[in-house]
Chains A and B, each alone.
Chain A
């Protein structure tokens, strides 16, 4: 019986597709955490962003997709970065003559 992985993990491993199998070995060894709760209101909020309501197939899949996104948000908080006032993301200014109108 093959071990199931989440769509998110698949993407990490392949496709866009990540060759990345994602989590470090020590994290993988831990018991998988259950997906974070997603309310109907949250799904509705997502759907309202779109031009028209999702079709039934996509609607069924949306909950898992939102769970994955929230899961990433939770997972990243487990790896804290120090508060930092040093340069992190960089915007390199360009001299005027290099900027195309």
Chain B
């Protein structure tokens, strides 16, 4: 009997023990995507033929005693922002409905090389939301619906990756983030989302929103699964010159990391449930021997810089589309207006933003006091799927610091509930120290059970 919520580790064991075949797994999850996944608008494209071919090949390897590794034979889905050979890649955009690439994005290719079975392209906010969307329905797939409550939003822009993984429609998935698009759907769907440091994972074949900010990372049911996927996709790629030579290692290094805490404003944001979860998380980590210290970022307009970079790079990356007849087919007219306005971004503003990145390196001074920073991903659970997101997010807070501008790695993980909806908390670490994030979340998840709660 397959549980849709099995972890990658459990599925791997079942495959090795021949209790289930990869073909059975692929069929099982595709059926679930076809029902629950589609009910939540999480599916952009099923890849059944490819999946069954890859699953049969995996079963042959298991039969001959030569499986490839921990991900062999295990189904996965990817955000529809990643190119897949011969399969539509629509970037969530009605204006790109006929787009097909004839190569696999590097992260997709690497998961397939590891024996992974690609079963679906997952829904996303059109063009990853580069035009400032204001409605959940800013997607060719319709509004992404939260796995825990279909009246709520799944988060964005990796909406389908979040909902499908939490619904047990895929064991794990890939998403992407420019400034929040992995941690947001992870938080709203009760998942563990691993945003790697900038340069860890190749963006070759991934739709560009911001060349200088975009990152690809996994969303999974626990940090062990997310780590397995990240280890498989990380590494240098000659097609993406921003990727590091240094090999990613999540092995524990050095003494227990000291965790920095930012000033939070729970009262102003009416976030009692989040405050309780936050303190319980700190208590759980203290029991594990972690120490905490108050920290503060240097005050800089990190957000203004990100806004300008998104405007400039996003419109440059998609300029031909924005100037084409198909532009106004976008689902959210806020995106149309936002991208049109962003065409006027001044070069001097963009260069200020890029130079602020250098200035923002001063924020690395906090690493003199701590090894990681812990902060609620949002102050509340998933907002309604209808109406203006702008209005809904009034009291949501979020990380106001330099983590996206500077490319710090982070993991968002579930740490509580608010009105039966998941709450998430994010741990961030300096560049090159994904291992610190991993270690803290691993220790937390070994001592607690929030990550084992399911929508059903």
Contact = CB atoms under 8 A, between A and B. Distances in A.
Interface of A: 2-27, 45-47, 49-52, 54-55, 57-59, 61-62, 64-66, 68-69, 72-73, 75-76, 78-79, 81, 84, 88-89, 92, 94
Nearest to A12: B303
A22 B393 contact: no
Nearest to A11: B132
B406 to A, nearest CB: 12
B412 to A, nearest CB: 9
A17 B129 contact: yes
A76 B301 contact: yes
A22 B359 contact: no
Nearest to A2: B394
Contacts of A8: 132, 307
Tell me the interface secondary structure of chain B in the complex.
helix
A73 B348 CA distance: 9
Contacts of A57: 333
Contacts of A58: 328, 333, 336-337, 340
A81 to B, nearest CB: 5
A20 B401 contact: yes
B355 A61 contact: no
Contact of B340 (A20, A27, A47): A47
A7 B334 contact: yes
B343 A21 contact: no
Given A24-B299, A58-B340, A65-B340, A18 B323 contact: no
Contacts of B305: 76
B354 A5 contact: no
Nearest to B133: A15
B391 A4 contact: yes
12 contacts: A2-B395, A11-B133, A16-B132, A18-B178, A24-B300, A46-B343, A54-B336, A55-B336, A58-B336, A61-B338, A76-B301, A84-B355
B427 interface: no
Interface of B: 125, 128-130, 132-134, 155-157, 178-181, 183-184, 209, 241, 263, 297, 299-308, 310-311, 322-325, 327-328, 333-334, 336-338, 340-346, 349, 351-356, 358-359, 377-378, 389-401, 403-404, 426
Nearest to B397: A21
Nearest to A59: B337
Contact of B306 (A5, A18, A64): A18
Given A4-B391, A23-B400, A79 B345 contact: no
Contact of A14 (B130, B156, B338, B355): B156
Contacts of A3: 394-395
A75 B440 CA distance: 37
The 9 closest A-B pairs by CB, nearest first: A22-B303, A65-B341, A18-B179, A61-B337, A19-B180, A24-B299, A2-B394, A21-B400, A16-B129
Contact of A88 (B125, B354, B395): B354
A30 to B, nearest CB: 12
B340 A15 contact: no
Contacts of B391: 2, 4
A57 B338 CA distance: 12
Contacts of A55: 328, 333, 336
A2 B300 CA distance: 26
Contacts of A78: 301
B338 A79 contact: no
A79 B156 contact: no
B307 A19 contact: no
A43 B406 CA distance: 34
Contacts of B183: 19
A20 B358 CA distance: 18
Nearest to B131: A65
Q: Which of A46, A49, A72 has the most CB of B within 10 A?
A: A72
Pick from A11, A57, A78 the residue with the most CB of B within 10 Å. A11
Contacts of B128: 16
Contacts of B125: 15-17
A52 B396 CA distance: 37
Contacts of A15: 125, 129, 132-133, 156-157, 180-181, 184, 389
A6 B390 CA distance: 7
Contacts of B180: 13-20
Given A16-B129, A46-B340, A27 B311 contact: no
Q: Which of B301, B342, B346 has the most CB of A within 10 A?
A: B301
Nearest to B195: A19
A92 B241 CA distance: 10
A12 B400 CA distance: 8
B179 A61 contact: no
Contact of A20 (B306, B324, B334, B359): B306
A72 B312 CA distance: 12
Contact of B179 (A6, A19, A52, A79): A19
B130 A89 contact: no
A51 B325 contact: yes
